[in-house]
Structure 1
Amino acid sequence: MERKSHMDAFGAVALVAFALHLAFNQVVIKWTNGGFGPVFAAGLRSTGAVVVLLIWMRLRGVSLTVPRDAIPAGIFSGTLFALEFMCLFSALDFTTVSRASVIFYSMPVWLAIASHFVIPSDRMTGLRMAGLVLAMSGVALALLDRSDTTASLAGDILALTSALCWAGIALCVKITPLNRVPPAQQLMFQVVVSAPLLLLAAAVLGDFIRDLQPVHIAGLLFQIIAVASLGFLAWFWLLSMYPASSVASFSFLSPVFAVILGWLLLNEDVGPKVWMALFLVAAGIYLINRRPRSV
């Protein structure tokens, strides 16, 4: 398929489905933590993703070769990837999907702030500044809301750290030689580096196996195949097909879907402050990613 100059119906449906897919993954992580220690599960996910990606790249004839000058940035992005998912899996062990998702999906906020200072062509505009204020207000509201008995400050901080690591990965790709590396190799860097780091961390930071049931194994396989490998490749494909700003504008849907799914599937008690925080973060992300129409 040739690259599109604008978003069409197929792209819109695919991006809505992908946002729902990512939101459902938060629920799956929560489920999976019932059978595996969270850091160990994250390590197994990266290990399995290495295998799936190797098979996919071999079948598609995709080379593993990358420019030598991109290797340090690739290792750094993989280290951030390990920290991101160590924190996210642990956050979902401490707190609800709804709270963790509102905070975790604030990533575009931190990326916009960092990009303003290090990328001259990506300065703040009035519209993006308004979105930044809205989104940061939503994150602050979520962090300060202690009315929910399931709220965990440790979980909130871990989710925020995970969002910052995610933003760091995106910025690393933008400003280092890694931006010349094809998406499949970028993803391979992240899972290859993160797998041993997470498995080593699991030996120090937590348990390996809990009350393991078939549903937990199924959840882990879903994360390996449908999210950590083929899911992210589908995301990169959509980025290659449609304008980046149009693709990014759909990112506000993921926290919305995650809160709804946590409420529907896990019977989470989502209080009015969480709904308000969700609205502020989603609206802020939309404004940050929105680009003025050309006249």
Structure 2
Amino acid sequence: MTRQTHLDARAIVLLLLCCLLWGINQVAAKAALTEITPLWQAGLRSVVAGLLVWAWSASRGIRLFERDGSLGGGLLAGLLFAAEFACIFVGLQYTSASRMVVFIYLSPFVVALGMPFIAKGETLAARQWAGLVLAFGAVAYAFAEGFSAPHSPNQWWGDALGVLAAVLWGGTTLAIRGTRLSSAAAEKTLLYQLGVSALALCAAAIAAGEPLPLQWSPRLVGLFGFQAVVVTFASYLVWFWLIRHYAATKLAVFTLSTPLFGLLAGALLLGEGISARLVAALVALAAGIVLVSR
């Protein structure tokens, strides 16, 4: 199918809404860790969202289980998706939600580096590469704070898991675009990831000996419901629809605006401190976005 190389007004509005939700999502996940362990939180989130995707598809007559050659790509994308969120939820135990959301958005570099091997029409110009290098340097500058002035003894470990999650997210985008998933319905693409990650993450939680939460407070229900229904079901469905209809490099780079929402949400909702180094890194990230988006 033909993809639009430029983002129109509809795509920009949808992306901004998704970025806002994703920035707040890290705060919700961090807050919920006081009542639910990380792997169970990630795994059960995929279970609930997967059931919602299945119900949504059934109501709209979307066929999810017909043979279309997408199984291999779907399994790969699902495993990468599971590993990504295992890194995020475990990493949030050691670093702040504000820092985590900055590191996750290294994923556009992975997409930009890998996409020319998949779609030659989605290469970046020299000025755009300069923007990516600038943004990468900003993230490296922020990461160094985990060693020089950490908020906790193992902050660097949580930061490193955030970087690894970014690599895995970028790999998921490349797997979708480089396999038969690129022509599959957004619902099927998302269900692959949710189904595989639900099994993998819940199995990992059992293997790690994490206790299954049996008592759910209204606070936990609200935090978990926001993640499962609003973010994992609704916003991810929109995201995969965008990947199918617009240039992946443009989409991935635009999501670098998410750290701004994450920093603000962490400060306002969790009272997390925002250092001058992190603010400087965010400014450089924004400059990189401008260079790449021009």
TM (normalized to structure 1)?
0.88
- Picking from 169, 172, 180, the partner of 2:172 is 169
- Picking from 267, 272, 287, the partner of 1:263 is 267
CA distance in 2, matches of 1:11, 1:255: 19
Pairing of 1:86-97 with structure 2 (within 5 A) = 86-97=86-97
The equivalent residue for 1:17 is: 17
Deviation at 1:279, TM superposition (A): 2.0
Q: Is the 8 A contact 1:252 1:283 kept in 2?
A: no
Number of residue equivalences? 288
Going from structure 1 to structure 2, the CA distance change for 1:54 and 1:168 (only over 3 Å counts) comes to same
- Picking from 184, 187, 191, the partner of 1:188 is 191
Alignment of 1:149 onto 2:151? yes
More moved, 59-68 vs 7-16? 7-16
Alignment of 1:231 onto 2:235? yes
Deviation at 1:263, TM superposition (A): 1.1
What amino acid maps onto 1:149 in structure 2? H
Deviation at 1:114, TM superposition (A): 2.1
The equivalent residue for 2:204 is: 201
Residues 82-121 of structure 1 show CA distances to partners (whole Å, capped at 9, x for unaligned) of 1010111111121101111110011101211222455433
Give the fraction of aligned pairs with identical amino acids, expressed as a percent: 33
Going from structure 1 to structure 2, the CA distance change for 1:75 and 1:286 (only over 3 Å counts) comes to farther
CA distance in 2, matches of 1:4, 1:69: 25
The equivalent residue for 1:26 is: 26
Alignment of 1:277 onto 2:276? no
What amino acid maps onto 2:185 in structure 1? P
Q: Is the 8 A contact 2:95 2:159 kept in 1?
A: yes
What amino acid maps onto 1:217 in structure 2? V
CA distance in 2, matches of 1:25, 1:88: 11
Stretches of structure 1 lacking an aligned partner (at least 5 in a row):
none
Residues 171-205 of structure 1 show CA distances to partners (whole Å, capped at 9, x for unaligned) of 01111122121111000100111101000111123
Going from structure 1 to structure 2, the CA distance change for 1:166 and 1:286 (only over 3 Å counts) comes to farther
SS of alignment partner, residue 65 of structure 1: coil
CA distance in 1, matches of 2:102, 2:139: 7
TM (normalized to structure 2)?
0.88
Residues 140-168 of structure 1 show CA distances to partners (whole Å, capped at 9, x for unaligned) of 11221131323711101111111111000
Deviation at 1:13, TM superposition (A): 3.8
CA distance in 2, matches of 1:124, 1:239: 17
What amino acid maps onto 1:81 in structure 2? F
CA distance in 1, matches of 2:79, 2:25: 22
SS of alignment partner, residue 79 of structure 2: helix
